[in-house]
């Protein structure tokens, strides 16, 4: 009798398992192949519009300069390996792109370095200068990245090394038409860190190493880019990420897709394609969110993987990508400009988000139906830029080119007021405005 009951239960279990297997799995889960790349299509991006839920607060025109002698822009905090905020003897640490104000507003891009700031309260920041030797750093100048303090107390700085591809050794630079020659690679170095009554100090600078460069297969090289010459090439903005659900580590970055063939799904669904034509050269707006798997503990050996998201025919730049995790929900954020939208499309300078469930490799869908999470208000379209969403849903950015009440443009180059963004599944809403440059303590992604 007992064997008969076991047989019945075995049969029941088989039927039950088959029934579950027959239930369709949401396309927004991690049940996709390891080489799957989600798409931000023209059809989706066409829905981008500012609403009260996605419009950034107006910049306060009575802003102070966090470093009066420096232009300050793309900013990121020092985080622990698990993504939580680092504190060192009560100090919080942040890094940002800086350039002397003796250079013009436009010139700052080709004279950029990475500066360090520290604060006891996360609101009042002290500029501590450039923590590395410019002679040791790779490239003519350095663009954005991230910083991680490992379990041994070493600060790992990841940054973009920018070189004039025609220059000897990368230290020479020709300003003429530099956008066409700005070769970008991803580099790293390390430091020891200590703090005392005089502030935070980085010492014992390590060797600077290139750890990633475009492969021409998944990610467009500058030679491939030069054949069509659209805007600026991109292989930059490394973001170190430890997946809390798997423990695996990655570098996520901005890239551009090597194969610019416009697939039907890059345009939209079949019904949409029947009534919409694609303007010439739209396929060369080929931004993507790239990813490389970290293969060693020291983060010097990596393997390039297919992009997480591509925007061929939609947008040319998906800058400073980063991830926030809440349980099995993965939020993939990036920033983009109005001028980098493909012909026939437009949207505000802002932070855009993509929502997936079940794993980092997911069929990401644009948040809020279009992708827009926070955009500059229409009457002040360039007031701020370079938003970074932190694990506690604080969003930091810098003041860019705000207009006053008379329509006059002022040059910023300093920390903007932090805002909150409230995330609810695949939708979001801009929350309350906080203090200028504020970074509150936060734990790891969960």
Q: What is the dihedral of CA 106, 107, 109, 111, to 10 degrees?
A: -160
DSSP 299: S
Judged against a pLDDT cut of 50, whether residue 2 lies above it is answered with no
Tokens describing residue 347:
């949207």
72-112 pLDDT per residue, tens = 999 999 999 999 999 999 999 999 999 999 999 999 999 99
Burial 75-91 (b: 16+ CB within 10 A, else e): bbbbbbbebebbbbeeb
Among 69-78, 225-234, 354-363, whose mean pLDDT is lowest? 225-234
**Among the listed residues 241, 239, 236, the one whose alpha carbon sits nearest the alpha carbon of residue 220:** 236
pLDDT at residue 446, rounded to an integer: 73
Helix, strand or coil, per DSSP, at residue 435: strand
Q: What is the percentage of the chain residues whose pLDDT exceeds 70?
A: 93
379-388 pLDDT per residue, tens = 999 999 999 9
pLDDT at residue 1, rounded to an integer: 34
Q: What is the mean pLDDT of the chain?
A: 93
**Among the listed residues 37, 55, 61, the one whose alpha carbon sits nearest the alpha carbon of residue 347:** 55
Provide the pLDDT confidence category of residue 445 given band limits of 50, 70 and 90.
confident
Provide the pLDDT confidence category of residue 170 given band limits of 50, 70 and 90.
confident
418-443 pLDDT per residue, tens = 999 999 999 999 999 999 999 999 99
Phi-psi region for residue 229, left (φ > 0), alpha (ψ -120 to 50) or beta? left
Average pLDDT for 369-386? 98
pLDDT at residue 386, rounded to an integer: 98
pLDDT at residue 15, rounded to an integer: 32
Distance CA 188, CA 207 (A): 8
pLDDT at residue 28, rounded to an integer: 53
Average pLDDT for 287-308? 97
Distance CA 132, CA 155 (A): 12
Tokens describing residue 67:
């470093």
pLDDT at residue 117, rounded to an integer: 98
Provide the pLDDT confidence category of residue 167 given band limits of 50, 70 and 90.
confident
Judged against a pLDDT cut of 60, whether residue 70 lies above it is answered with yes
- This prediction has a pTM of 0.93
**Among the listed residues 89, 66, 78, 85, the one whose alpha carbon sits nearest the alpha carbon of residue 197:** 89
pLDDT at residue 168, rounded to an integer: 76
Judged against a pLDDT cut of 50, whether residue 9 lies above it is answered with no
Residues carrying an active site annotation: 74, 319
pLDDT at residue 65, rounded to an integer: 98
Among 11-15, 83-87, 183-187, whose mean pLDDT is lowest? 11-15
Provide DSSP, 228-261.
T--S----EEEEEEE-TTT--EEEEEEEEBS---
């Amino acid at each position: 009798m007992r064997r008969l009951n076991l047989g019945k239960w075995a049969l029941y279990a088989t039927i039950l398992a088959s029934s579950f297997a027959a239930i369709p799995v949401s396309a927004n889960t991690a049940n996709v192949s390891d080489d799957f790349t989600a798409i931000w299509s023209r059809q989706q991006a066409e829905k981008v519009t500012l609403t009260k839920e996605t419009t950034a607060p107006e910049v306060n025109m009575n802003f102070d300069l966090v470093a009066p002698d420096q232009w300050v822009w793309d900013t990121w905090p020092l985080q622990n390996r698990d993504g939580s905020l680092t504190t060192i003897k009560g100090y919080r640490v942040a890094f940002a792109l800086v350039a002397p104000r003796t250079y013009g507003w436009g010139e700052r891009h080709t004279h950029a370095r990475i500066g360090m700031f520290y604060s006891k309260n996360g609101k009042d920041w002290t500029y501590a200068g450039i923590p590395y030797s410019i002679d040791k750093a790779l490239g003519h100048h350095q663009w954005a990245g991230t910083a991680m303090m490992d379990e041994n107390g070493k600060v790992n700085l990841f940054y973009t090394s920018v070189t004039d591809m025609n220059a000897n050794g990368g230290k020479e630079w020709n300003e003429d038409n530099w956008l066409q020659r700005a070769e970008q690679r991803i580099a790293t170095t390390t430091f020891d860190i200590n703090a005392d009554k005089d502030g935070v100090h980085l010492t014992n600078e390590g060797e600077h190493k290139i750890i990633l460069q475009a492969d021409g297969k998944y990610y467009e090289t500058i030679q491939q880019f030069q054949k069509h010459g659209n805007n600026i090439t991109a292989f930059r903005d490394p973001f170190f990420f430890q997946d809390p659900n798997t423990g695996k580590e990655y570098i996520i970055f901005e890239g551009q897709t090597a194969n610019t063939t416009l697939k039907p799904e890059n345009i939209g669904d079949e019904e949409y394609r029947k009534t919409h034509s694609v303007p010439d050269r739209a396929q060369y707006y080929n931004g993507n969110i790239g990813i490389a798997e970290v293969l060693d503990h020291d983060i010097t050996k990596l393997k390039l993987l297919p992009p997480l998201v591509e925007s061929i025919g939609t947008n040319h730049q998906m800058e400073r990508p980063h991830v926030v995790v809440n349980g099995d929900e993965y939020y993939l954020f990036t920033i983009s400009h109005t001028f980098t939208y493909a012909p026939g499309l437009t949207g505000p300078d802002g932070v855009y988000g993509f929502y997936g469930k079940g794993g980092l490799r997911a069929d990401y869908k644009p948040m809020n139906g279009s992708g827009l999470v926070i955009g500059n208000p229409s009457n002040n379209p360039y007031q701020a830029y370079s938003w970074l969403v932190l694990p506690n849903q604080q969003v930091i950015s810098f003041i860019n080119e705000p207009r006053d009440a008379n329509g006059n443009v002022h040059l910023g180059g300093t920390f903007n007021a932090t805002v909150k963004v409230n995330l609810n599944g695949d939708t979001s809403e801009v929350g309350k405005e906080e203090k200028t440059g504020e970074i509150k303590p936060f734990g790891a992604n969960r």
